Structure 1
Amino acid sequence: MRIRTLEISVGAFIVAGIGALFLLALEVSGLSLSPTQDTYKLYAEFTDVGGLRVRGKVSLSGVTIGRVNSISLDPKSSKAVVEMDIDADVNYLSADSVAVISTAGLLGEKYINVSIGGDEEALKDGDFFYSTQGALNLEKLISDFATSQ
């Protein structure tokens, strides 16, 4: 009886560990088991997206307000066009808001940080951010510093 209890507790511990690894994998990948909420699409053009990925987060004041849906290249302007899904309850982003590609930590993941402007008109579904700032390219900065006299 005692051996049977030990086997059951070890089995339960292994099942709990596998469940925890599964939840960790979902969290790291950016996927979610919760149902998706209503969103609207906003777009931004960047000269350099520098490592930004699809499903990357879009944040405002450190709070995630959306996700990157797609990244494509505009053949006319040769700029990267980023499509973002913004939560529907965040409907107060002013028309002069700024989208900046930032880095979480020194070598962390890239995400889009939104700063709200002062305009009374709000961005609507399908609108573009008027002002953007691309990713900071550390390799280029180091190369420029190393080769400068």
Structure 2
Amino acid sequence: MHGSEHKDGMHSTPIDDPRPKLWPRFLGSIAIVGLMVGLMIGRLTTPDPIELQRIETLPDGVAVWFNREPQLHGEIIDGAVALLFNAQGTAQRGELKLANGRDVRWKVQKSDKGLLLNLLAARPLRGEWRGATEDGRWRLQVSLREE
């Protein structure tokens, strides 16, 4: 056999199949459909972000309301109470009076790790905080007193 020319229908190379190759298209479409279904399921099962809903002033502190329980880190730094929440929300500020008539200013600001709540007074403060679920939301109550 010299060359690849036809001689009585026999040669060393097979004849090209004129039909389209459907197997790679089928596998590609199955992969795309699987990816899209996975993205939709992932979107449906992702929980809502944790959001600060409101802040209430109390006679001895503040109550901070969230839609779900956030991660919380709190410290008392040089007489100021600082609470860091892993949540979203808007910057706010306000003022409250303690039972003895002293003014305390509070401020919520955004940080790279979430929201930061600062409570500051003219005299050093001590604070205690506790959270609980109420009415399908999460409430953190911060109780303040002067040193």
Q: Is TM-score (shorter-chain normalized) higher than 0.5?
A: no
Higher share of residues assigned helix: 1
Instruction: Tell me which protein shows more strand as a share of its residues.
Output: 2
User: Which structure has the bigger radius of gyration?
Assistant: 2
- TM-score normalised by length of structure 1: 0.29
